[in-house]
């Protein structure tokens, strides 16, 4: 895939001030979107288990990714980039940061579910070192599509001081 010139964005933790923009991307993207209230709940009541990051472009959240820390698994809950900014490396930036977060938390592996037909997301996960690990038949309620389970076991080692060796991501 050819990337256009990369926007000057960065990845940072999601705050309550991002939720309007995040929920708007969620609504434009998913058949069964999470509500505004779900994101608020994740950031306030589930903060010890959940980690949410945003792709920040000039102070605005133009993408986001989340993960639950479940024992030694980092379970990716969602990832999306605003539709007009896809294909420019933002998904990779978010996944790289999420993998770093998982490593910094000492997790053993990461896993996620993705629709069988979602070539863009499956391509992104493969690029980030995830492999097919199973199928959940008729997992999605809206169209009964199968979910592919994908996982990455070899998380990079967190360096002293919480830094991550970017070369191993």
Ligand X SMILES: CC(C)(COP(=O)(O)OP(=O)(O)OC[C@H]1O[C@@H](n2cnc3c(N)ncnc32)[C@H](O)[C@@H]1OP(=O)(O)O)[C@@H](O)C(=O)NCCC(=O)NCCS
Residues marked active site are found at 113, 125
* Residue 127 lies near ligand X (rule: CB under 6 A): yes
Closest CA to 77 of 47, 107, 23, 34: 34
Q: Which residues in the 84-103 window bind ligand X by CB under 6 A?
A: 86-92
Q: Which residues contact 131 (CB under 8 A, 6 or more apart)?
A: 150, 151, 152
Q: Minimum CB separation from ligand X for residue 49, in Å?
A: 19
Q: Minimum CB separation from ligand X for residue 3, in Å?
A: 6
Secondary structure element (H or E) that encloses residue 11, with its range? strand 10-13
Q: Which residues in the 1-30 window bind ligand X by CB under 6 A?
A: 1, 3, 29
On whether the CB atoms of residues 74 and 108 are closer than 8 A, the answer is no
Size of the residue set binding ligand X (CB under 6 A): 21
The site string for ligand X over 106-125 (x = CB under 6 A, - otherwise) reads --------x---xxxx-xx-
Q: Minimum CB separation from ligand X for residue 160, in Å?
A: 29
Token pair 């940061």 is at which residue?
97
Closest CA to 49 of 78, 65, 71, 21: 71
Around Cβ 18, how many Cβ atoms within 10 Å?
Answer: 21
Please identify the residue of the shown chain whose CB is closest to the bound ligand X: 91
Residues forming contacts to ligand X in the complex (CB under 6 A) are 1, 3, 29, 79-81, 86-92, 114, 118-121, 123-124, 127
């Amino acid at each position: 895939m050819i990337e256009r010139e990369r926007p000057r964005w960065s990845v940072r933790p999601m705050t309550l001030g991002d939720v309007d923009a995040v929920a708007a991307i969620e609504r434009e993207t998913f058949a069964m979107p999470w509500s505004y209230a779900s994101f608020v709940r994740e950031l306030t009541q589930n903060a010890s288990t959940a980690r949410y990051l945003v792709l920040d472009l000039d102070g605005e959240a133009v993408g986001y990714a989340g993960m639950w820390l479940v024992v030694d698994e980092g379970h990716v809950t969602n990832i999306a980039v605003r539709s007009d900014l896809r294909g420019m490396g933002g998904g990779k930036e978010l996944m790289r940061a999420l993998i770093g977060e998982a490593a910094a938390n000492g997790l053993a592996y990461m896993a996620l579910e993705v629709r069988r037909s979602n070539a863009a997301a499956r391509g992104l996960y493969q690029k980030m070192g995830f492999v097919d690990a199973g199928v959940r038949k008729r997992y999605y309620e809206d169209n009964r599509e199968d979910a592919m389970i994908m996982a990455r076991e070899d998380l990079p080692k967190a360096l002293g001081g919480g830094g991550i060796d970017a070369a191993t991501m």
